C-alpha cells in the first residue's frame, strides 16, 4: 500500500503544480493581450508588450500561445476580450496591507472573488484609498545571479539609465527605478550583456509590518487564495520577514 499511497501523493502534487502552472500561463497570456491591445501588436514599437512576451518566454509559455495572444490583443484575428484593470485594497491578519491588481472582463465577478478569498481566510476588503497610500509604483527588473556577475557590476550598468538602487534578493538582483525609467534600465542591461528575467511596473511598500512564522503563514494563505483566482494578476503586501522567520518557514 505504501507504493500506492506514494503514487497518489505524487499524482496529487503534480496535479497541483500543473494547475498552478496553468494559472500562471493564463495570467501571462492576459498580460500580453492587454499590452497588445493598448500599444499595438509590434513588440519593437511597444515596450510593454516586449516585456510581457519576454516574461512569458522565461516562464516557458509556448510560442504558439504567445503569438495567438498578440494577435487577439492586437485585433489581428477579430477576437479577443476587453479586459480592464481593477485595483482592490484589503487587510491580512496582523494589519498587513494588501494591494490586489486584477485584469477582468467582469468587475462584479472580480470584486466577489476578491472579497470571498479575503473573508474566508481571515482578511477583509478595505475601502478605496485605505492602503494604497502605503505603496508607490516602481519599475522593477529581476536579474538572475550568476557566478561571474556581482551587485556592483549590475549597478554600474544601470546607474546612468536612472536606476535608484540594486537589491540582493538571494538568488536574484532587483533593480528598482521610477516606472518612466524602466525601459532605459532594461535597455542598459541588454547593452551590457546582462540577462534579466522580467521587467515590469510593480507596487512597493513605503513601510512594512514585521511578522513571525505563524503570522506569515496566515498572510501567505490569503495571498495564495487570491492568486488562485483567474481575475487576480498580482498581489502586493507590506509584510516584512526576517532571515530567521524565512528559515523557519523553509523548515
Q: What is the mean pLDDT of each run of 10 residues along the chain (251 residues)?
A: 37 55 88 92 93 93 94 78 90 95 94 97 95 95 92 95 92 94 96 94 92 92 93 93 84 76
Tell me how far CA of residue 57 lies from CA of 106, 212, 238, in angstroms.
Answer: 28, 36, 29
In the sheet where 172-177 sits, what is the strand order?
163-168, 172-177, 135-144, 198-205
- pTM greater than the 0.75 cutoff: yes
Contact 76, 41 (CB under 8 A): yes
- At 180 the pLDDT is 95
- At 23 the pLDDT is 85
- At 30 the pLDDT is 93
Contact 236, 89 (CB under 8 A): no
- At 89 the pLDDT is 97
- At 63 the pLDDT is 94
Three cell numbers written together for 181: 525609467
- At 19 the pLDDT is 63
> For residue 172, what are the β-bridge partners?
144
Contacts (Cβ under 8 Å, ≥6 apart) of 217: 249
- At 27 the pLDDT is 92
| Spatial separation of the C-alpha atoms in residues 177 and 54, rounded to whole Å | 19
Residue among 156, 138, 145 at smallest CA distance from 196: 145
Residue among 249, 232, 241, 214 at smallest CA distance from 100: 232
Domains and CATH numbers, the chain: 2-73 (1.10.10.200), 83-251 (3.30.70.980)
Amino acid at each position: 500500500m505504501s507504493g500506492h499511497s506514494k503514487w497518489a501523493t505524487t499524482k496529487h502534487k503534480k496535479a497541483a503544480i500543473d494547475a498552478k502552472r496553468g494559472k500562471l500561463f493564463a495570467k501571462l497570456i492576459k498580460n500580453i493581450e492587454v499590452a497588445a491591445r493598448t500599444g499595438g501588436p509590434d513588440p519593437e514599437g511597444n515596450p510593454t508588450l516586449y516585456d510581457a512576451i519576454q516574461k512569458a518566454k522565461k516562464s516557458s509559455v509556448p510560442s504558439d500561445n504567445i503569438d495567438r495572444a498578440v494577435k487577439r490583443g492586437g485585433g489581428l484575428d477579430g477576437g479577443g476580450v476587453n479586459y480592464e484593470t481593477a485595483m482592490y485594497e484589503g487587510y491580512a491578519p496582523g494589519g498587513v496591507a494588501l494591494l490586489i491588481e486584477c485584469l477582468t472582463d467582469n468587475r462584479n465577478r472580480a470584486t466577489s472573488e476578491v472579497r470571498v478569498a479575503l473573508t474566508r481566510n481571515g482578511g477583509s476588503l478595505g475601502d478605496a484609498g485605505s492602503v494604497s497610500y502605503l505603496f508607490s509604483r516602481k519599475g522593477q527588473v529581476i536579474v538572475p545571479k550568476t557566478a561571474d556577475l556581482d551587485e556592483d557590476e549590475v549597478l554600474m550598468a544601470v546607474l546612468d539609465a536612472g536606476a535608484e538602487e540594486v537589491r540582493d534578493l538571494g538568488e536574484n538582483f532587483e533593480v528598482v527605478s521610477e516606472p518612466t525609467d524602466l525601459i532605459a534600465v532594461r535597455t542598459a542591461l541588454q547593452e551590457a550583456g546582462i540577462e534579466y528575467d522580467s521587467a515590469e511596473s510593480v507596487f512597493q511598500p513605503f513601510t512594512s509590518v514585521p511578522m513571525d512564522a505563524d503570522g506569515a503563514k496566515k498572510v501567505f494563505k490569503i495571498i495564495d487564495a487570491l492568486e488562485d483566482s483567474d481575475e487576480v494578476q498580482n498581489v502586493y503586501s507590506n509584510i516584512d520577514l526576517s532571515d530567521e522567520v524565512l528559515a523557519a518557514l523553509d523548515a
